[in-house]
Amino acid sequence: MLINIAIDGPSGAGKSTLARAAAKQLGLIYVDTGAIYRTVGLAAKRAGLPLGAGDGVVAMLPSLEIDMAYDGEGRQRMYLNGEDVSEAIREPEISMYASDVSAVPEVRAFLLQMQRSMAARGGVIMDGRDIGTVVLPGAPLKVFLTASEEARAERRCRELREKGIECTVGEVLRDMRVRDENDSNRAAAPLRKADDAVLLDTTELDFEQSLAALTALIKEKFGL
Ligand code: DC
């Protein structure tokens, strides 16, 4: 059995922080698929496309070269036409562009193979919105990670502040609602818990407790 773990859930649920930490602890590779959608979102913004310009995004796709690589410390880096955009894609404004382009079926199709090939040899913890339902439907372990809206907004705002990006919890909550609404209600691969995913609600758990819960699920499933 290939050790592949699919983690999905709404924004700010702590997917990336937890998946990265679990991967490090267990010697697995962490793949952040949101970063790939963010790279397409950044390209759309740089091309001067407004939000909702699906046709323009589709027209732009053939000219995009998107690459992913890991640096010496195992951190995932994203490249857009050869330029390292790993920091640029974290700007709060890009979150909305990423959510916007991710609703375009052609964008999802364009990125599907790239995501699947990352998991082809196993050993991967992959997080996103449709990993358990579309990208890796055969993953032996699927986790749907969630927390209350308030907890998610507070965590996301803290994370942004740690990166030196100013925000208020209210602003983050507003943005998050729009994004969750987009991501959950789009026709193409909406955010949804796979029927066979384990639900992990971290509202009442701190980081260490959440990590312990996630790694326990992984160890139990794969006998690690
Ligand atoms: O995980 P994130 O917040 O960095 O993702 C940014 C956006 O990308 C998110 O709002 C929806 C989209 N996304 C997606 O549609 N499917 C994925 N597997 C990952 C992200």
Answer whether residue 163 shows pLDDT above 90: no
Q: Which of 35-49, 156-170, 210-224 has the lowest mean pLDDT?
A: 156-170
What pLDDT does residue 12 have? Answer: 87
What pLDDT does residue 216 have? Answer: 98
Q: Which residue has the tokens 């909406």?
A: 190
**88 residue type, one letter:** A
The Å distance, Cα 102 to ligand 1 centre, comes to 7
**How many angstroms separate the CA atoms of 138 and 98, rounded?**
26
Give me the mean pLDDT over the 139-168 stretch: 93
What pLDDT does residue 45 have? Answer: 98
**CA distance to 58, 125, 148, 187, per residue, from 201 (Å):** 36, 18, 8, 25
| Confidence (pTM) | 0.94
Query: Is the CB of 175 inside a 6 Å radius of any atom of ligand 1?
Result: no
What pLDDT does residue 159 have? Answer: 87
162 with 27: CB under 8 angstroms?
no
132 with 194: CB under 8 angstroms?
yes
The Å distance, Cα 27 to ligand 1 centre, comes to 24
pLDDT tens per residue across span 93-146: 999 999 999 999 999 999 999 999 999 999 999 999 999 999 999 999 999 999
Burial (Cβ within 10 Å: 0-12, 13-18, ≥19) of residue 117 = exposed
Which protein residue's CA is at the shortest distance from atom 15 of ligand 1?
102
**How many angstroms separate the CA atoms of 70 and 183, rounded?**
27
